[in-house]
Amino acid sequence: MTASASAAPRPSDRPAEAGVPTLAADATLRFVRDGYAFGIRGYRDVGADAFRTRLMGRSVVVARGAEAAHVFGAGGFRRSGAIPRSTMHLLQDEGSVQALEGERHRERRALMTEFAEGGRGTLVSLFRSEWEAEVEKSRGVRVKLLDLASVALARAALRWVGLALPADEEKEIAADLRSMIDHAASVGPVNWAARTRRRRMEDWAGGLIDDARAHGENVTIVGRLAHHEEDGRRLDTAVAAVELLNLLRPVVAVARFVAFAAHALHHHPDWKARIGEGAESSTRWMADEVRRFYPFFPVIGGVATDPFRLHGVDFPAGQWMLLDLYGTDHSPHLWRQPDAFDPFRFADASPKAIVAQGAGEGLGAHRCPGELATSDLVAAALSLLVSGRPYEVPIQDLRISLRRIPAQPESGMAVIFA
């Protein structure tokens, strides 16, 4: 069975009760079966916005909503030990900003935020240029927008951090970066192969850090990472390499939002006309609705470093918690008609309510530092799809399975550019 991202709301939705009921003795198979909808179906079953269960034999609290996001985003959770090592290695790795706590986390996050927010105008400009180049090469043939956007974003990201590489090397790097994203939730040989590519990328990035140090280059993002100091010492080469990948990989991950944006334009042509009229507000509202509506990260995990209280229940330090990102972005208690695609909701709703890329405010939180850049890139993609070279959408499978993590249109959102 395939679940649709545009499924209608079910009559069983009802006001959430206080407390944190138990869903099942162990819900591992339910998680595998339900994917992004795991939390939503669980809340319906227990009649609350949080529940307790076990995943892979381990006690966990799963929760959605404003209170859960506030509790999780307050910073009293550590990421290490909160997600499987197979996923951690592909998406973050040891020593990265998301794996740190306390002052070290705040200092490293400040640097990464400076890169991601301060340089996002340059990144968007580079993406526009690379997108147009890729579109020109693809004219007249069927191409998956997920593939095209991945390459364009990878090339833009490489130039953004200060790298100019041969085209064949850029293509290989783009494939390796995408592999980390595509297989983060997989297990077995597929995951092992992706982790092998990840190690190769870490060696490559480490070489760039060493070269920047040897030549005294400290102007580009690569150079600044190479010379960044914490506690009076430069970052270990391996750690600096991981952080370089943590700037490049999330940019490539935005390709899924680009494919979802095209999916939304196809199903809502009235918004294509609105954006075509040139109203910046319409483009921004739709970019935010794409980020809210479509499945990106299903959950974010943390292990409590201090006791916390949720829905009137006290939990001890060491408790594993999963904040349900998809469930929060589709909560009927936060969003009007959450299962309807409606960009107009952002005429008066705050984009900060979207938790597609984590929760929390400030330098102590584990929200993605590149969230503003992501929003800008999605808005740019919408503008390019509407006002750029015309294209047609051939017959294909446009369903989006909520079982597949990470999700995508089944056919990769294929188009043919004129």
Q: For residue 249, what pLDDT is reported? A: 92
pLDDT beyond 80 at 189: no
Give the predicted TM-score (pTM) of the model.
0.89
Q: Determine the pLDDT at residue 115.
A: 86
Q: Which residue has tokens 């609105």?
A: 274
Rounded distance, CA 74 to CA 69, Å?
8
Say whether the peptide bond before residue 406 is cis (omega within 30 degrees of 0). Answer: yes
Is 90 exceeded by the pLDDT of residue 343? yes
**What pLDDT, in 10s, does the model give residues 344-393?**
999 998 888 898 776 655 434 556 777 889 999 999 999 999 999 999 99
Considering only the C-alpha atoms of the chain, give the largest distance between any 2 of them, rounded to a whole number of Å: 64
Would you place residue 5 in the very low, low, confident or very high pLDDT band (cuts 50, 70, 90)?
very low
pLDDT tens-digit readout, 270-308 = 999 999 887 789 999 999 999 999 999 899 888 999 999
The answer, yes or no, to whether residue 12 has pLDDT greater than 50, is no
Q: What average pLDDT does the structure give for the chain?
A: 86
More confident residue, 112 or 378: 378
Q: What's the pLDDT score for residue 230?
A: 85
Cα separation of 320 and 84, whole Å?
12
In the chain, where the domains are located: 28-417
Say what the pLDDT of residue 366 is.
55
Taken in order 380, 126, 291, 182, the sign of the CA dihedral is positive
Class of domain 28-417: mainly alpha
Please compute, for residue 211, the number of CA atoms within 13 A of its CA located in the half-sphere on the CB side: 11
Orientation of helix 371-387 relative to helix 280-293, angle to 10°: 120
Q: Does residue 15 carry a pLDDT above 50?
A: no
Q: Which of 10-14, 93-97, 411-415 has the lowest mean pLDDT?
A: 10-14
